Amino acid sequence: MVRFAALLAISLRLLPQSRAQLPDEAALTLSPDTVFPVSPRDGAVHEILREDVDPLILSNSGSVVLAIAPGWYSNRRKLRENLSGLASERAGIDFYIIDDVELGPHSSKLRVFSYPTVLAFQGGEHIARLQGLQSAQSYASWIDATFAN
């Protein structure tokens, strides 16, 4: 209990003390006209939220890989690791991961029924899916075949 209290005290000291210390809200709000603060093609798999699905996935004119896995999923870290290596090697593809709860109404539209589900999009259109945890090599082969056209 003492350790928890100490961590809480440290965390509270790290929080901004006033609204003036918070980052500019415009930089945190995503819309089709907003510049994403982190380049999605920076070789990383970015965690996104429900409000990000339309501007970053469905309205994206390029190639996108979206991994869907719940926060409680025991192999979520392995999924992210397998995709992270590929993200750094494939500069023309945006890589994202989302919690199934955050996917919300898009879940049934995209027909996500098992975890993990990895979806490929081209020009905002869903073009392929892969279900179940795969090796990094399996993901690489699938991504290369999917975006070969």
Q: pLDDT for 82-119, tens place per residue?
A: 999 899 898 889 999 999 888 877 887 888 888 999 99
C-alpha separations of 68 from 2, 29, 31, 45, 119 in Å = 37, 22, 21, 12, 8
- More confident call, 76 vs 11: 76
Name the residue with tokens 């996935």: 57
Examine the pLDDT at 6 and tell me if it is beyond 70: no
pLDDT score, position 7:
42
| pTM of the predicted protein model | 0.71
